[in-house]
Homo-oligomer: A and B are copies of this chain.
Amino acid sequence: MNAAAPQLHAFDQAISLRATAPNQFTGSTSEAYLNMVGPFGGVTAATLLNAALQHPEVIGEPVSLTVNFAGPVGPGEFEIEAVPLRTNRSTQHWLLLQRQDGQVVTSASAFFATRRETWSEQQIACPEAPAAASLAALPLRADRKWFGNYDFRYVSGLFDPTQAEESSDTESLLWARDNPPRPLDFASLTALGDIFAPRIFHRRQRFTPAGTVSMTHYFHADQAQLARVGNRHLLGQARATRMHNNYADQIAHLWADDGTLLLTSTQVVYFKE
């Protein structure tokens, strides 16, 4: 790294967009975040959110985001259309469409709001976990290049097809952060919400073709809370409620290391067999 001109983090490169016309942005897929087929979905989601975040008409901060993975994102350029569908006094609803060759590859909706201080309470407790520093980092994998941009430290529920036994449940618990470390923001939290292997991999400890179809994030944290996290690990927990005829759901939570719940996320995942 050159101290005079610090290199952009691979994540910031991956989600960077250039405005081309009102509501129109262009970007390019990142080699660094390649998954088995196309880019890691978390980075695609973060890129769509980023179009709203850097739109000149944006108000408030993200409260919810739904991303629908409609078709494979091919390598190279893409267009994002970001339309503020409805702007109220302190809330804003967005439609976000990612296209390649004129065809929709990803669609999303986002809800932004200006929050005021109210009565607040966290209803679910952060699970007990040994400190991230006491756990081994997950080794890198050549077939999932995006792993290299994260530091994953599994507490339990690792998908490991070399295990002889199926798991009795679908729950995984792990620490995660960007690698190299990067201060947490809404875009990186969006991507971190998609780090969990398909629950069916862990449940059966074997691979089947699978991929997220739709993902919904609820951001419980505001910018000040994200800033307090800095670049420290988040604790992530994911489980499924039902897997049935090609589709399974996942409910996940991401906590700061002080026990604050930052994100509740659900997704529905295709699996082949």
Contacts and interface: CB of A to CB of B under 8 A. Distances in A.
A119 B241 contact: no
B242 A113 contact: no
Nearest to A216: B216
A118 B246 contact: yes
Contacts of A141: none
A169 interface: yes
A113 B247 CA distance: 9
Count identical subunits in the complex: 2
Q: Which of A115, A119, A203, A270 gathers most chain B CB within 10 Å?
A: A119
Contacts of A64: 68, 213-214, 268
A104 B143 CA distance: 43
A264 B245 contact: no
Given A86-B71, A170-B123, A241-B261, A118 B272 contact: yes
Interface string A216-242: 101011100000000000000001111
Interface string A194-221: 0000000001100000000110101011
Contacts of A124: 241-242
Contact of A123 (B105, B204, B240, B246): B240
Q: Closest 9 A-B residue pairs measured CB to CB?
A: A115-B245, A70-B86, A70-B93, A66-B66, A216-B216, A220-B242, A120-B244, A64-B214, A85-B104
15 contacts: A63-B213, A66-B68, A85-B107, A86-B107, A111-B214, A113-B270, A115-B246, A116-B246, A118-B244, A119-B243, A120-B244, A120-B245, A121-B244, A214-B216, A216-B266
